[in-house]
Structure 1
Amino acid sequence: MADKTDRVLYGRRTTIIAVLAAVTIFAGYYDNPRLPVLTVLFTLLFILLLFVLVTARIGSLRDEEGNWSVALLGQKISAWWEVALEFTSADLVLIVQGIGKTVTFLGLLVLGLRNAITILSLIADEVLGVTFETLDAADKTMISIGTIACVVGSLLILLAWLQARSKAKAQGLVLDDTGKAQLKSGVLGLPPIIDCKNVAQLQSLIAQTPHPLLKEVLVMLANWKPRNTNNEQAYHASLYRALRRRMPGANPEKERPIAEDTPEFRGRADLVVGDSILIEIKAHLTKGSVHRAIGQVRMYAHAWTQGPILVVVCGADRNHAHQLLSRELAELHQKVPVFMVLAAG
């Protein structure tokens, strides 16, 4: 159960823990003090979630045969170290934002745990007649630490966002209606197929691209080398993280609604950058998936008028991708700014 829950929540664990901790805290403020049903319910859910995820993390140190593995522990420590090095070498705005998110998360975690300790203390007092004086002292300390951490963390996040937004505006990455019109006219000379492994072609395109937002996206795609995986969602998450790192002020959005959902297609774009560039990710193409992709892109082309549409193809043979997609996208390219981008990875 723990491992399955961990897999289902992959990529969203921290967010879900923080949200549940916040719900637990607010339930404690607004619940009926004589009968705090909501507080007890959400606190128990919070404790259960923490227990399950911690159990899954510990269980991940077992190998396929179920034996504890020092090698796996070493691999995880190495991966954490790489993340830490990548974080310290990032832009100052991203470092401040990361610290702010971490401090806020820890503050919510402390306040959520404080609720859990309070409820366990009340249960012990009512049922067992046992009073823990140290818990009463810890309660005030945890409230102070948690509240201060949430306030400081939130201020750091706000400061980082304002700085990133200001920097993005100065670089021309935040567009008004005039900027979006210039972007749409600036992509007319680009070819319908952009191969990120063709370094010479890509450098030429980047040099001749007049718009700074599209140029930044192309540079980012040129440097983006995701791991080959059968999971299309993993490519979504990887590209979203890369965009957030390189151009946070352009406000990369994922799963943005742009049209009504239909039985055949989602009305949500995989990614949108700068409220103008739509990115749809496709991986490991088959004839069936290509048919759906073309229909989806046609729907986007009808509904999306903000700027160009980039269909980023990952984990596919280049010749195979050309055969399956090039003709349809080339025809569509004559009517709307749609491009197929073959990822470098």
Structure 2
Amino acid sequence: MIRTLISTAVLSLAITTTVSAATELRFAEPSPNRGARADAVIHFMEDVTKLSNGDLTFDMHWGGALLDYKSVANGVAVGTADLGTMLAAYDPQKLRSLTIGDLPTKYSDPWVGMRAMYELMTTNEDMERLLAELNFVYLTGYSSTGVQFECAGDNKIRTVADVEGKRIRAVGNYAKILDDLGANLVNLNQGDAYQAYDTGLIDCGASYFYTMRAFKTFEVADNYTIANWGQLLGFATLMNLDVWNDLSQEQQAVLQKAGSSAINYFAKLQIEEMALVVDGLRTGDIGKKANVYEMAEEDRTLLAEAGEKYIQEWIDRANKDGVDGQKIWDEYTAMLAKYQNELDTLGYPWER
């Protein structure tokens, strides 16, 4: 009887220990649970749980139910959530290190951009330290895909000169550059663009092929220009550093592996979606036929030149933060070139 009681107690203790060893992470996701990026977030969580054999799970809060984009940075930093998805454009002062990804470059491919940003934020000691000072660690990143021009009615932007006088919706440094080029900027969320086109509040928008079906702007826009003008990469899931440090090395490795895998997964979804949208606009299969132009290389060069002063501004701010801004910028652009070369020579990882 004594042996039986002891065995039962040991078994109960083992079960209790197994249950208590599982770690549930509170995840704040400001976006709703729909679309390609939501699929990528779900893929990340499922990957983490699978790779950890159920040792890591998530308490997920979608659509800003716990923290929205304006509050998520502070909320994760103080522990309201263990991790959360953040857009540097909503808190550029706090997330200054992430804003390097929002600077316009000639690289618009989402896989190239996300891979370069992931490598920079997880291997560059200065960038890791800047995040650590905010109590963050970088897990995975996202891309808006390349910036394109979308216009309603007879409006069109085929050249840089066409920007002047247009009422344009844009965000971040892209809005600043278009303002410099003579646009009349209109401050609107992406979700309000449809009605703004329909009512004539805006003529054009700096948009993304990957989001057009989700917001159905093709129903009210008529002219598109493929500019492939940089992308927004200051878009990431960050984790509370104190929570990270409490995890085992094995758990940390799982999160890192899943974060890297999620980038390939999301890039594939985006690239497939962009191809469907461009083809659908040209043929009308998307629901409405539209004019699709391609911006000339000389105009793309002018856009790049117009953004150079904002690159220098980022470098100067980084220097004030105690790091070598030029060195970090050079390292980042070298990573972009490296992944672009890999893409050009080997293709996408899922195609090899």
TM-score (norm 2): 0.24
More strand by share: 2
Computing the radius of gyration over CA atoms, which structure comes out larger, 1 or 2?
Answer: 1
More helix by share: 1
TM-score (norm 1): 0.24
